[in-house]
Amino acid sequence: MHDTAHAGAHHAPTSFIRKHVFSLDHKVIGKQYYGLGLVAVFIGMVLSWLMRIHLAWTNAPIPGLHLLSSAGAPGDVMTPEYYLQVMTMHATFMVFFVLTVAPFAAFGNFFIPIHTGAEDMPFPHFNMMSFWTTFVAFCVMILSFFVADGPTLGGWTQYAPLSAVGKVAGPGQGAGVVIWATSIAIFCVGQLFGSLNFIPNILDLRCKGMSLWRLPLPTWAWFITSCMGLTSFSVLMPACILLILDHVAGTSFFVASNLVINDQLQPHSGGSTLLWQHLFWFFGHPEVYIAIVPGMGIVSHVLITSMRKPMLSHRVLVYSMGALAVLSYMVYGHHMFVSGMNPFSSVLFSFPTLMITIPSTIIVLIWIGSLYGAKIRITSASLFALGFISLFITGGVSGFFLAQPPIQILLHATYFVVAHFHFTMAIAAIFGIFSGTYFWFPKMWGRMMNETLGRIHFWCTFVGVYAIFMPMHYLGLAGNVRRYSSFAPDYMQPLVPVHQFITIAALFTGAVQLIFLYNFFYSKFKGPIAPENPWEATSLEWTIPSPPPHNNFGDVHPVVYHDPYQYGVESSTGDYLMQNSPEQLKSGVINDEP
């Protein structure tokens, strides 16, 4: 394997464009992805503020909103349709351009070649195309804000036939849907390019001594995620193309016969309503794990460094993440229990869904069990990693309810579901991104972030997200349906004060993200210069300068002698031993599984 470790090597570029824009360097591409994620997360967050304000105070004007859409917010008051459009865009930007892009594409690009001891990805041109394709997808999605009747209002799930019959179904359902589906299809291509680089890099570009079991946990997580990306984006992309064809080519893949909309008999016939749901969720459920598994890897990596001891079992964590990935294809029907799918199928999908609790529980127990006897160093990164565990537990236990068809009779499409997926795939994943950012910032940008600001950011965010999302469980139990722009049914009226509380918490939590933004940009330019290994960590990224040179390891080919997590040992460096150190420990070698 080490003979091919420099397969993707190329000379350092000299021009500005090849260095910073159309770069082949996996590190630049990783940072570009991170930047894209950062822009998208702030768009998504502002959209969520608009949604929350409207839900809590439906008729209150939001100053300046008419500038975004004069039709959507006459007199600065949001219309019900504009609420749905904002909601759809919030979810789309967050799921695709943040939760997929940041933990997977951004950190994965930067660190996979370094973790494997390679000079670059095996196919650097594909890698560059991966980012720029994703960037085009992002621009296309932004475009939908500026077409005549605005972006689509159909939700990020885009259920047919609402999404497939054209503008007769509502504002944004014509051009808005076509733009949405085009953007997502392009996005899928970008992510396929990414996965096609990650997998061969991890399998074939490992340096001497780097057996698979010596790969650090994030790289294992990115490997598993790449496999999921390969098999799920390749289903969503054709589904989006079929949806576009229903709009522009007169086909009826997703539209049944004899539909009457606005008193007009639709010209479609013979399509299937449920086909879209099957195709979408066959992608959609693995996507949940695409968002969260990289976070699990990152958090494990950060925790081990902070605990000064390895996990109880490296392999069990890897096997469990793998089990999540495999099971994720067998559970997607739990999104469709009351969809009209055969009710026997609901039972069949319910058991694998319940079973997925087992690998998830194993992962959590390994984390908690590993804390036993540790010497946790509290940093911003480790606080976010510990916060991740708490959030993942909270999101996990609500899964017990939603895995069961009879309970979904009460809870399907309510705020309970909103709480569940935000705790797991959204907020926990975001905590994984923050943890990774505080941990790897010195390596990626060569400067240290401010710890005090990092901790303030953590405390406000941690308490804030619980204040936002925990009450949503209660709303769901009371039958509060999601995707309502206001709460017209009588029985939902008494729940409005809870929404007002959530909105205040969301505005506060969103505002404290400005602390992170300030810390990020201030530190990038003015932060103290980072040493090579500020956290006394052991994996290969900490054996090279911060930031790493163009070809990562200079002109040497690294050789690896140990598993990546030699902590709590007595070596010449202290309580840890670098992965590439030839030093052999007399005693206390732990968890070495070559």
Partner 1 sequence: MAKLFAVTLLIIAIVSAIPIIRNTWHPMEDISAHGQAIDDQLSETMWEAGISFLASQIILAWFIWKFSGDRPGEKTQKKFPGGAKGLVIAAIVLVGIEVFALGIFGVKAWGAIYFTQPGPDALPIQVQAGQFAFYFRYPGPDGALGPIHADKISEGNQNFFGLDPANDVDSRDDIVTAEMAIPVNKEIRLLMHAKDVSHSFYVPALRIHQDFVPGLDLQLHFTATKVGRYEIVCSQLCGLGHYNMKAYLSVLSQQDYDDWLKKEAAMQ
In the region spanning residues 25 to 84, those forming contacts with partner 1, defined by CB under 8 A, are 79-81, 84
Q: Which residue from 64, 75, 373, 582 is in contact with partner 1, where contact means CB under 8 A? A: 373
Task: Tell me the closest approach of the beta carbon of residue 104 to partner 1, in angstroms.
Answer: 26
Query: Scanning residues 400 to 439, which ones bind partner 1 (CB under 8 A)?
Result: 400-401, 403-410, 412-414
Residue identified by tokens 């159909």 is 154
Q: How far is the CB of 527 from partner 1 (least distance, A)?
A: 21
Among residues 13, 35, 74, 155, the one that binds partner 1 under rule CB under 8 A: 155
Going by C-beta distance under 8 Å and a sequence separation of 6 or more, which residues neighbour residue 477?
Answer: 410, 411, 414, 416
Stretch that binds partner 1, among 61-69, 120-128, 425-433, 480-488 (CB under 8 A): 480-488
Q: Is 375 in the site for partner 1 (CB under 8 A)?
A: yes
| DSSP conformational letter for 414 | B
With respect to partner 1, which residue has the nearer C-beta, 58 or 234?
Answer: 58
Among 234, 357, 500, 573, binds partner 1 (CB under 8 A): 357
Rounded Cα gap, residues 528 and 61, in angstroms: 44
Q: Whole-number minimum distance, CB 178 to partner 1, in Å?
A: 17
Q: Rounded to an integer, what distance in angstroms lies between the CA atom of residue 455 and that of residue 152?
A: 39
Q: How far apart are the first and last CA of the chain?
A: 15
Does 497 interact with partner 1 (rule: CB under 8 A)?
Answer: no
Is 171 a binding residue for partner 1 by CB under 8 A? The answer is: yes
Q: How far is CA 416 from the centre of its chain?
A: 20
Stretch in the footprint of partner 1 (CB under 8 A) among 23-31, 270-278, 323-331, 436-444: 270-278
- Closest distance of CB 162 from partner 1, Å: 4
H helix or E strand, kind and range, residue 264: strand 264-265
Does the protein bind partner 1 through residue 146 (CB under 8 A)?
A: no
Q: Report the residue number, 204 or 575, with the smaller CB distance to partner 1.
A: 575
Bridge partners (DSSP) of residue 265 are 260
Distance from C-alpha of 453 to C-alpha of 145, rounded to nearest angstrom: 35
Span of 34-42, 105-113, 389-397, 503-511 interacting with partner 1 by CB under 8 A: 389-397
Judged by CB under 8 A, which stretch of 196-204, 231-239, 312-320, 505-513 contacts partner 1? 312-320
Rounded CA gap, 159 and 169, in Å? 12
- Measured at the alpha carbon of residue 197, what is the angle toward residues 193 and 199, in degrees to the nearest 5? 120
Residue 261 β-bridge partners:
264
Considering only 248, 372, 526, 572, the residue that binds partner 1 (CB under 8 A) is 372
Rounded to a whole number of angstroms, the minimum distance from the CB of residue 401 to partner 1 is: 5
Tell which one of 274, 326, 496, 504 touches partner 1 (CB under 8 A). Answer: 274
Size of the site for partner 1 (CB under 8 A): 115
Q: Which residues contact 139 (CB under 8 A, 6 or more apart)?
A: none
Q: In the set 312, 507, 512, 559, which binds partner 1 (CB under 8 A)?
A: 312
Part of the chain binding partner 1 (CB under 8 A), chosen from 44-52, 208-216, 471-479, 546-554 = 471-479
Lookup result for tokens 């849907």: 177
Q: What is the DSSP string of 139-192?
A: HHHHHGGGSTT-S--STTTT-TTTTTS-GGGSTTTTHHHHHHHHHHHHHHHHHH
Closer Cβ to partner 1, 354 or 559, answer by number: 354
Q: Are strands 260-261 and 566-571 parallel, antiparallel or unpaired?
A: unpaired
CB of 466 to partner 1, least distance (A): 5
- Taking CB under 8 A as the rule, does residue 503 contact partner 1? no
Q: Which residue's CB is nearer to partner 1, number 390 or number 573?
A: 390
Query: Which CB atom, from 132 or from 501, has the smaller least distance to partner 1?
Result: 501
Work out which of 12, 20, 146, 491 binds partner 1, going by CB under 8 A.
491
Q: Report the distance separating Cα 217 and Cα 303, nearest Å.
A: 11
Q: How far is CA 253 from CA 111, 189, 273, in A?
A: 41, 22, 8
Question: Cα dihedral angle (403, 405, 409, 411), rounded to 10 degrees?
Answer: 0
Q: Is residue 514 a contact point for partner 1 (CB under 8 A)?
A: no
Report if residue 272 touches partner 1, rule: CB under 8 A: yes
Neighbour-count burial for 513-525, b at 16+ CB within 10 Å, e otherwise: bebbeebbeebee
Q: Is 75 or 340 the residue whose CB approaches partner 1 more closely? A: 340
Query: Using CA atoms, how far apart are residues 98 and 430, in angstroms rounded to an integer?
Result: 9
Which of the stretches 5-13, 203-211, 258-266, 524-532 binds partner 1 when contact is defined by CB under 8 A? Answer: 258-266
- Toward partner 1, which CB reaches closer, 245 or 460? 460
Does 511 contact partner 1 by CB under 8 A?
Answer: no
d(CA 442, CA 69): 41
Q: Of 147, 366, 448, 512, which one interacts with partner 1 (CB under 8 A)? A: 366
Would you give the binding string for partner 1 spanning residues 447-466, x where CB under 8 A is met? --------x---x--xx--x
The distance of closest approach from Cβ of residue 582 to partner 1 in the complex, given in angstroms and rounded to an integer, is: 22
Binder among 183, 370, 513, 581 for partner 1 (CB under 8 A): 370
Q: Is 154 in the site for partner 1 (CB under 8 A)?
A: yes
Which CB atom, from 54 or from 115, has the smaller least distance to partner 1? 54
Long-range Cβ contact pairs of 392-395 (< 8 A, separation 24 or more) = 392/292, 392/360, 392/364, 392/423, 392/424, 392/428, 393/364, 394/423, 394/466, 394/470, 395/420, 395/421, 395/422, 395/423, 395/424, 395/425, 395/427, 395/428
Name which of residues 549 to 588 contact partner 1 (CB under 8 A). Answer: 567-568, 575, 588
CA–CA separation, 240 vs 253, rounded Å?
Answer: 11
Residues 195-234 vs partner 1: string with x where CB under 8 A? ----------------------------------------
Which tokens hold the place of 163? 């999404």
Strand partners, 566: 577
- Residue nearer to partner 1 on the CB measure, 146 or 351: 351
CA-based nearest residue to 380, from 220, 527, 507, 541 = 527
CA distances from 305 to 151, 217, 275, 386, 387 (A): 44, 12, 46, 13, 16
Q: Which is nearer to partner 1, 65 or 114 (CB)?
A: 65
